[in-house]
Structure 1
Amino acid sequence: MALFSLTLIGVFLATVRSGGKSQLAQAVHQEGDFALKRIGSTIRSSQAVSCAGDEINVTTSSGAEIIFSLVADGGLTRVASDSSNFLTGKLAEAGSLNFSCYQGTLGNQVVTISFELNTHPLSSGQVQEQFQQEFATSVSTRQY
């Protein structure tokens, strides 16, 4: 009977831990997806882009310039536009941000975006709840 009780307790604890990791993974995925979509839509509607590896300078159709890059925020690295508008939250640390630009066959610019989010050690004390998620996409500017 004691062995059965210990088994049930073990199953319960494993379920609770995996549920916490699932919620954390979902939240981190939403943060990364939001950043990717925001950067992508800005590039898509831009007039010109200039890649510098770990940052990109986007010139909007109105002539304004927006820079997307990694920015330190209180010991946590986050994806930001113009160094102050953060696109990722505080659940995960951003890293390996990379932009590659090339000329498309139709004369438009094509940009490949990639970065990763690692759960921050402060957001989860459990080692099994820490993980890394990668995000990537390619976007082309529209022809006006």
Structure 2
Amino acid sequence: MVAGIMALFSLTLIGVFLATVRSGGKSQLAQAVHQEGDFALKRIGSTIRSSQAVSCAGDEINVTTSSGAEIIFSLVADGGLTRVASDSSNFLTGKLAEAGSLNFSCYQGTLGNQVVTISFELNTHPLSSGQVQEQFQQEFATSVSTRQY
């Protein structure tokens, strides 16, 4: 009787330990994916903010820098994984999650500058080991306006 109770108690402790380890792994993955998405948003936003002009085409944007160079941001396939990148193949998101639903919306601001809305999502489902608790999707969005020179 005592052995049965001890076995049941041991199984319960093991279950709690495994659940804690799994949730810790998911929060580390979520934090890393969040950092990747934030980095991409800040990099694109900074480039747009200091640009001369922007031209949106839905899933990509053409940015003309103050020096006249053109940079295109879009989704790029990289070995079976879709990532946010510039046309110079500088990847802005890592390999932890697949990027999707990249969208740029441009409109004229009231001060004569251009305003750009950026949105995309990062999804760990395609890369996951199949564990439901490790599959999630995170959306990123921001609006940026060009500076007036």
Unmatched runs of 5 consecutive residues or more in structure 2: 1-5
Instruction: Give the percent of matched residue pairs that are identical in Structure 1 and Structure 2.
Output: 100
CA distance in 2, matches of 1:125, 1:132: 14
8 Å Cα contact 1:69/1:79 also seen in 2 = yes
After the TM superposition, which segments of 4 or more aligned residues of structure 1 sit over 4 Å from their partners? none
8 Å Cα contact 1:79/1:86 also seen in 2 = yes
CA distance in 1, matches of 2:90, 2:127: 22
Bigger Rg, which one: 2
Cα distance, 1:3 vs structure 2? 1.2
CA distance in 2, matches of 1:129, 1:83: 32
CA distance in 1, matches of 2:144, 2:106: 10
Structure 1 counterpart SS, 2:24: helix
> Is 2:147 the partner of 1:142?
yes
Cα distance, 1:83 vs structure 2? 5.2
8 Å Cα contact 1:91/1:120 also seen in 2 = no
Cα distance, 1:126 vs structure 2? 2.1
8 Å Cα contact 2:128/2:134 also seen in 1 = no
Cα distance, 1:2 vs structure 2? 1.3
- Cα 1:29/1:80, change in 2 over 3 Å: same
Structure 2 counterpart SS, 1:41: helix
Structure 2 counterpart SS, 1:86: coil
8 Å Cα contact 1:91/1:123 also seen in 2 = no
How large is the RMSD of aligned CA atoms in angstroms? 1.0
Unmatched runs of 5 consecutive residues or more in structure 1: none
Cα distance, 1:127 vs structure 2? 2.6
Deviations 1:93-127 (A, max 9, x none): 00000000000000000000000000153354423
TM-score (norm 1): 0.97
8 Å Cα contact 1:31/1:87 also seen in 2 = yes
CA distance in 2, matches of 1:70, 1:83: 12
8 Å Cα contact 2:113/2:146 also seen in 1 = yes
- Cα 1:107/1:79, change in 2 over 3 Å: same
Deviations 1:112-144 (A, max 9, x none): 000000015335442310100000000000000
CA distance in 2, matches of 1:3, 1:12: 14
CA distance in 2, matches of 1:95, 1:136: 13
8 Å Cα contact 1:110/1:139 also seen in 2 = yes
Structure 1 counterpart SS, 2:88: coil
- Cα 1:30/1:24, change in 2 over 3 Å: same
Structure 1 counterpart SS, 2:127: coil
> Is 2:33 the partner of 1:28?
yes
